[in-house]
Amino acid sequence: MASDKVKDVSDADFESVIGSDTPCLVDFWAPWCGPCKAIGPVVEALADEYDGKVTIVKMNVDDNPATPGKFGIRAIPTLILFKSGEKVDQVTGAVGKAQLVDLIEKAL
């Protein structure tokens, strides 16, 4: 079941999304990426679990090349955690849920 709490974000609205006081986890992905599809349900489950505490968004790197370039993203999926517009931490690859929970907890 897809979560309606995970929103798509673009280069145009990226700064306004991560600039919030609420921590924001950004999933950089592409539709053709197998590992991205594998981690998708985990990201959606976390959006439900952390609803109201963390904003979780997805950015399609094919449609939005500027932002991934700005953060030096060379492999996907890459998930970057931001707080008040500043990068807190990041992970690359189809990591497990426990690793993503650890990542999120750093910003809470």
Q: Does the pLDDT of residue 2 top 70, yes or no?
A: no
Tell me if residue 24 is catalytic: no
Q: How far is CA 86 from the centre of its chain?
A: 14
Q: Does the pLDDT of residue 5 top 50, yes or no?
A: yes
Residue 99 in any domain: the answer is yes
Range(s) of the domain holding residue 65: 7-105
Residue 1 in any domain: the answer is no
Residue 2 in any domain: the answer is no
Express each pLDDT in 93-103 by its tens digit.
999 999 999 99
Q: Which of 33, 54, 59, 100 is catalytic?
A: 33
Q: Specify the CATH number for the domain of residue 88.
A: 3.40.30.10
Q: Which of 26, 36, 79, 91 is catalytic?
A: 36
Residue 72 in any domain: the answer is yes
Residue 81 in any domain: the answer is yes
Express each pLDDT in 64-87 by its tens digit.
999 999 999 999 999 999 999 999
pTM: 0.94
Tell me if residue 36 is catalytic: yes
Residue 98 in any domain: the answer is yes
How many domains, in total, are found in the chain?
1
Residue 31 in any domain: the answer is yes
